[in-house]
Structure 1
């Protein structure tokens, strides 16, 4: 029988799938989750999709007593508890910093003082990169790309170098320097670095997994700051046009939650000599507009045309997709869910779900605060 594992934030989208994955491989699973309203609704009840074999402790990761209770008897920790969303982080600054940064500090302090040296796997994010890696026509690498405000105000979305020459996006590896473009990105980088620093000091084995755009069943459809596919689903299910910022040609890496939780399990099982971090994506890139077009076809919603706003949203970047060669070679990670298969599974799940469309409210909030151009 495998050991006992704690998942913070384990009643949510990725965490519940991870619980399923670990149970299938013989682990005992405990979850610490505050069941926040924005994700789980006003009742704050245990979600029906959470396997009955999972022990659920309802509590906040910032509550030291709850964290210590949740840690008791466990051999490893997956730290997934976080406020999620670039746009919302730009105005709920204290809340994101409190949950993400301070919550991680509470967990690390408890782990440092506890007996034994549990392994810690931290859910980091591709957002820490800001813009991904680019090359110019001569093959020169650019890792510090930023799009000036004046350029964005003119609707020129693609990055250029200082000679106004266009740059070409390429897969982003782990050695690309962070460029923190939002409060959310800053908090995720803080989670990652704090864990690596404390882990080295207290001999806690730490792996940080930098998730790219994770999609799949169980995402909170009524949360307007969740993943883009869930946001598109919420709009389409209510007969409303999905809203796309800029021109829709920004490129991302969409990875199935099933592949993500496999990567998590592999990170737990890998023989580890030092702290490490890995990109977890599909290894493929696709534009946001193409994603929507393919999703509309799967949902038979071709008649609902998108609203391409031509607006910029504070904290957004143009292109970023994953180089996953390190995860392949060290963890043995190999994505197996094709995007078409993943969309089909998501569409099938949506048939039995209800989504409250709050996207317009979220957009109005950003606009009122001057966070869109």
Structure 2
């Protein structure tokens, strides 16, 4: 395979993947609509992500919801890496039609074209997400492995943010593996589950190898510092750089698995190049759970800018409490293990942020929007 199409290839993960594949001698086509939320008002002039790939790839400004754009993009491609999607757990809960149209319908158009036309495509990699698991996997001393349902709003209103499971009291958080229960708690998670299942189901019927990667929380140099809807590292960084205080949801003890961009790119390339990946789904993360208070304090210390840190007790509808990845499958099958730990990754990230123009802090506007829609309590 030589010719690779990356949808959403001007985005954070897509542009980094494109540059690495170019170094390896691949010919890259990118289909991207240069979304204002990610790239700003004048993306073709001012977007660092777009400009990093400009004139290096065959760039098609188009949209995955438009079949004619798919027709142009898929021509002569040997493989597709499908990243194009609306992202953001909170926003997905009140912009339902947009998330379904882009994430589900856009993927359906791709598959419809592959099914009904002769192409050179041999493999499709789809960016799935840890969000499809909803709450992570837990161990009960009395019941064994359990998968708690979404938390009750009545509990969170009282400041009780921990997950519950019937007929047991003590739950131990453990790594979520690929065989864990799929029960997303947001529209975004539902659309990622749907994308993954469609690709894994449809592609083999026409001899195309599908691969799905369930990415954890991806971060690193180059990610958008102006998008207030996703990526707490960039959101917190923009707040700190503006001298604004950080308001932390819940009690601050909620955890995520933060995985560095270079590791995401390396895992994705293994999926592209290794036949052992065909027909499989993989977690990609670090296998380490880090709480949000630690994230905020680490960023404040790294920037050397003191700002107030407030644990608010507020919460968003659709958020999960904990989830971190089990990496046994990807280690065994593809030989992947993350190379960048959180400390080094944060150092790289904040060093990059220090070189960037300080972006306007639009976080309060996003919170007001969510509150108005009843998604922020």
Q: TM-score range by the shorter chain?
A: over 0.9
Partner of 2:348: 345
Does the 8 Å contact 1:111/1:118 carry over to 2? no
Q: Counterparts of 2:286 and 2:78 in 1: how far apart (Å)?
A: 29
Instruction: Determine helix, strand or coil for the equivalent of 1:188.
Output: helix
Instruction: Determine helix, strand or coil for the equivalent of 1:48.
Output: helix
Q: 4+ residue runs of structure 1 moved beyond 4 angstroms?
A: none
* Stretch moving more, 264-273 or 229-238: 264-273
* Stretch moving more, 126-135 or 104-113: 104-113
Q: Which of 157, 161, 164 is equivalent to 1:157?
A: 161
* Stretch moving more, 136-145 or 54-63: 136-145
Partner of 1:17: 16
Q: Counterparts of 1:263 and 1:51 in 2: how far apart (Å)?
A: 24
After superposition, what is the alpha-carbon deviation per residue over 1:130-170, rounded to whole angstroms, capped at 9, x for unaligned? 00001123461112433222211111111222246131211
> C-alpha displacement at 1:114, in angstroms?
3.1
Q: Counterparts of 1:107 and 1:219 in 2: how far apart (Å)?
A: 26
Partner of 1:174: 178
Instruction: Determine helix, strand or coil for the equivalent of 2:263.
Output: helix
Does the 8 Å contact 1:159/1:166 carry over to 2? no
1:62 aligns with 2:61: no
After superposition, what is the alpha-carbon deviation per residue over 1:248-286, rounded to whole angstroms, capped at 9, x for unaligned? 101110000100010000000111485110000011111
Distance 1:55 1:213, change over 3 A: same
Q: Pairwise mapping of residues 103-182 of structure 1 onto structure 2 (< 5 A)?
A: 103-112=106-115, 113-138=117-142, 140-163=144-167, 165-182=169-186
Count, aligned residues = 371
Q: Pairwise mapping of residues 20-39 of structure 1 onto structure 2 (< 5 A)?
A: 20-39=19-38
Where in structure 2 are there 5+ consecutive unaligned residues? none
Q: Pairwise mapping of residues 1-373 of structure 1 onto structure 2 (< 5 A)?
A: 3-45=2-44, 47-50=50-53, 52-112=55-115, 113-138=117-142, 140-163=144-167, 165-272=169-276, 274-301=278-305, 303-353=306-356, 354-373=358-377
Does the 8 Å contact 2:277/2:334 carry over to 1? no
Q: Counterparts of 2:206 and 2:111 in 1: how far apart (Å)?
A: 10
Does the 8 Å contact 1:158/1:166 carry over to 2? no
The two structures have a TM-score, normalised by structure 2, of 0.95
Provide the aligned C-alpha RMSD in A: 1.5
Does the 8 Å contact 2:10/2:32 carry over to 1? yes
Q: Counterparts of 2:262 and 2:118 in 1: how far apart (Å)?
A: 32
> C-alpha displacement at 1:320, in angstroms?
0.3
Q: Counterparts of 2:234 and 2:106 in 1: how far apart (Å)?
A: 26
Distance 1:365 1:232, change over 3 A: same
